[in-house]
Structure 1
Amino acid sequence: MALYELFSHPAERGYRAGLCSKAALFLLLAAVLTYIPPLLVAFRSHGFWPKRSSYEEQPSVRFQHQVLLVALLAPGSDGFLAWSTFPAFNRLQGDHLRIPLVSAREEDRNQDGKPDVLHFRLELPLRATEHVLGVQLILTFSYQLHRMSTLVMQSMAYLQSSFAVPGSQVYVNGELRLQQKQPLGSSGLDTRYNVSVINGTSPFAWDYDLTRIVAAYQERNVTTVLTVPNPVWLVGRAAEAPFVIDAVIRYPLEVIEYPFRFWEMIKFAWIQYVSILLIFLWVFERIKRFVFQNQVVTTVPVPVLLPGELRKEHLA
């Protein structure tokens, strides 16, 4: 009758030696070379302790209906025209004040309860002898993030456009992008910048100086910037027709950076370490087997009994 192998198991053999023997010293050295080098390799390959991570979030942005406008006029006119939604600023302008027609509409295209785009239009009335060469415009927003840390801040969009030829309209289609100089917190409430970009109650002219406003704003660690790839400057204004600023400002999905939390760092470090350690374990297991089987270090080989065999030996 033909015989078939139905079951098998490896035969184990133990090797005995003193704790102060060469064999014990070899095992200690092998353990050090097995567990320490993978740690060094993972650490030196960079990314072992990641400092920061990122996630995506659709910010909650609301236009605050605060506007500050300065229009540069061609030579031969009064130099500039200005207007804002701040009464104190308007009182300081004197004859340079010109009140425009303003309309703004926010649109939630994906119906998630958060606006996605702002349609802004400003029509600045002009006399027949007045021609606009450039504009500077500030719009303010309420900007909030909620997914990890709760960020609440007042931000702005700054638009500057000028050309050598007088224009009738400037059209911009851009995005209000978040800029981070430092990662945001991974938890808690951050209201450091929940203050007005423009001090609209101040009676002093320097509080409305665009240089001071922009400089103070750029000192923040978190800001928003209006990115406009190609503003369109249209020419050929009809007599006494207004100068028009037509802007479409989108609120895009943002990639938010934040510092790694402790357990996130441990998770990524552990994955890298273990993936390298498995290779060292495989290599040194075969080195130890070769050393002990070939008696490179002096030991006493003894058979290792299986649990069933051990019981039989005790019964005998």
Structure 2
Amino acid sequence: MMSLITLFSRPLIVHYKSSKISQATLFTIITWIINILYPWIIVYQTDGLWKKVDYFWEKPQVNFKYDLIMMAKLKNTSISSNQIIWSSFPQLNNQLDQKKIRIPFISNYESDLNNDDVYDQLDMKLVLPTEKTEKISSIKLILFFTYQLKVNMNLKMDSQLILESFTDEPPSKLSIIGDLKFLQKVPLPNDQLLLSTGSIFDYVDSDDSIKTSIDNMLTESTSQVFSITTSPNTLFLWNHGYERNLDKFTIDIKLNYQDDLFHYIPGFWCTMKWAWIQYLSIYIVFYWIIQKIRCFVFHNQITSSMVFTEIKSHGD
């Protein structure tokens, strides 16, 4: 017997029809409701339909403002309050007890290591003149920066970085090596931000001491939702030895400006895009399963319906 080959084919469309009030109509409505609601329930119960918080990586644009406050705690000294202070603000220095002021020699520069027009590193060296009888027990530095994001979000803020360390042995040098990190207590909004932490002089009160004013500024900075800090693995290396008899104390600082992780509140279209992808991926699976169930139910007339066939023409 000669085998047959297909020369032409066209689809056969089968219509299952019923009245508006019937078991077949009720079954169809229920399956459509399941197809629409169940994907939403699954997405909502697993990870949530709406993406409330998202994140991105970006290299911030950080610039040192060439402003700082230095406070060194002394022990076994005749200076009142056992502290020496210096700042880059002349107005602040003028309000200080002149016996406490010790002007250091400062050199600093910021480096663009990969030539992308964004600074990658801050190197700073402070040489503080001291007397041989003075023994430093702690150092607190407050460095002032501008911090910007431009790629994924528009953010510009002024912020202070606090570096503080203590020692029991008389030192001759302190080396600080670490990464600058962005600290946020809440996600960033998706609109432009321009923030300022204020000047030290915003916290100066005529009835308060300079130390109290500085403490007020530091307290205010800790309550801010966005600030900068150093990574937990920052090294504070105290150098002790015979050099402590010299009439100077050196502070070496190396801060790296690294890519950082930022959390933010996504905008409307970003939220809808994520919700649509989640919902549609599960909806397609449910649609395929329910279509198989419908085909089985109507083909086997489990719910009574009238069957009409139609051959689809080439032009349809």
Q: Same fold per TM (> 0.5)?
A: yes
Instruction: Identify if the C-alpha distance between structure 1 residues 241 and 309 changes in structure 2 by more than 3 Å, giving closer, same or farther.
Output: closer
Contact 2:72–2:140 (CA under 8 A) maintained in structure 1 = yes
Report whether the alignment pairs 1:268 with 2:274.
yes
Q: Report whether the alignment pairs 1:232 with 2:228.
A: no
Secondary structure of the 1:64 match is strand
Query: For residue 231 of structure 1, what is the amino acid of its counterpart?
Result: F
Q: Partner of 1:250: helix, strand, or coil?
A: strand
State whether residues 89 and 208 of structure 1, in contact with CA within 8 Å, keep that contact through their aligned partners in structure 2: no
User: CA deviation digits over 1:284-309, x for unaligned, max 9?
Assistant: 11211121122111222222232369
- Measure how far apart 1:203 and its partner are: 7.3
CA distance in 2, matches of 1:200, 1:103: 28
> In the alignment, what sits opposite 1:223?
227
1:74 partner amino acid: K
Change (3 A) 1:80 1:141: same
What secondary structure does 1:97 align onto? coil
2:176 pairs with 1:172: yes
* Per-residue deviation, residues 90-113 of structure 1 (Å, max 9, x unmatched): 231231111111111111111121
Residues 61 and 147 of structure 2 are in contact (CA less than 8 Å); yes or no, is this contact kept in structure 1? yes
Task: Please list the CA deviations of residues 113-171 of structure 1 after superposition, one character each: whole Å capped at 9, or x if unmatched.
Answer: 12111111111111111111111111111112222442221111111111111111110
Cα separation, 2, equivalents of 1:2 and 1:296: 38
Aligned to 1:97: 101
In 2, the alpha carbon distance for the partners of 1:285 and 1:222 equals 52
Q: How many aligned positions are there?
A: 308
Kindly indicate whether the alpha-carbon contact (under 8 Å) linking 1:88 and 1:200 is maintained by their aligned counterparts in 2: no
Instruction: Indicate which of 247, 251, 261 corresponds to 1:241.
Output: 247
- Aligned twin of 1:296: 302
Which deviates the most, 250-259 or 85-94? 85-94
Q: Which residue of structure 2 aligns with residue 55 of structure 1?
A: 56
Kept in 1: contact 2:10–2:311 (CA 8 A): no
- Residues in 2 aligned to 1:154 and 1:60: alpha-carbon distance in whole angstroms: 12
1:183 offset after TM fit, Å? 2.1
Query: One-letter code of the match for 1:49?
Result: W
CA-to-partner distance for each residue in 1:233-287, whole Å, 9 max, x for gaps? 1112343331111000111112222211111111111111111111211111121
Contact 2:64-2:145 within 8 A present in 1 as well: yes
Aligned CA-pair RMSD: 2.3
- Provide the C-alpha distance between the structure 1 equivalents of 2:122 and 2:154, rounded to a whole number of angstroms: 23
Name the CA shift for 1:249/1:45 in 2 (closer, same or farther; >3 Å).
same
Q: 1:82 aligns with which of 81, 85, 89?
A: 85
C-alpha distance in structure 2 between counterparts of 1:221 and 1:249, whole Å: 22
Which secondary structure does the structure 2 equivalent of 1:30 belong to?
helix
Matched-pair contact (CA < 8 Å) for 1:206–1:212? no
For 1:232, give the aligned amino acid: L
Between 10-19 and 153-162, the greater mean CA deviation after superposition: 10-19
Normalization by structure 1: what TM-score? 0.90
Q: Is the 8 A contact 2:51 2:271 kept in 1?
A: yes
- Pair 1:199-2:201 in alignment: yes
**Cα distance in 1, alignment partners of residues 203 and 225 from structure 2:** 25
Q: How far off is 1:89 after superposition? A: 2.6
**Contact 2:179–2:234 at 8 Å: present in 1 too?**
no
Q: Alpha carbons of 1:99 and 1:238: their partners in 2 closer, same or farther (altered >3 Å)?
A: same
Q: Percent identity?
A: 29
> Structure 1: any 5+ residue segments left out of the alignment?
311-316
Give the match's secondary structure for 1:291. helix
Comparing 279-288 and 2-11, the one that deviates more:
2-11
Give the conservation status (yes or no) of the 8 Å contact 1:144–1:151: yes
SS of 1:199's equivalent? helix
- CA–CA distance in structure 1, aligned partners of residues 35 and 313 of structure 2: 30
Gap runs ≥5 in structure 2: none
Change (3 A) 1:87 1:308: closer
> Which residue matches 1:17?
18
Whether the 8 Å CA contact 1:68–1:85 is kept in 2: the answer is yes
Indicate whether 1:5 and 2:35 are aligned. no
Q: Please name the residue that 2:32 is paired with.
A: 31
TM-score norm. by structure 2 comes to 0.90
CA–CA separation in structure 1 for the residues paired with 2:120 and 2:17: 74
- Tell me the amino acid that sits aligned with residue 90 of structure 1: N
Matched residue SS, 2:64: strand
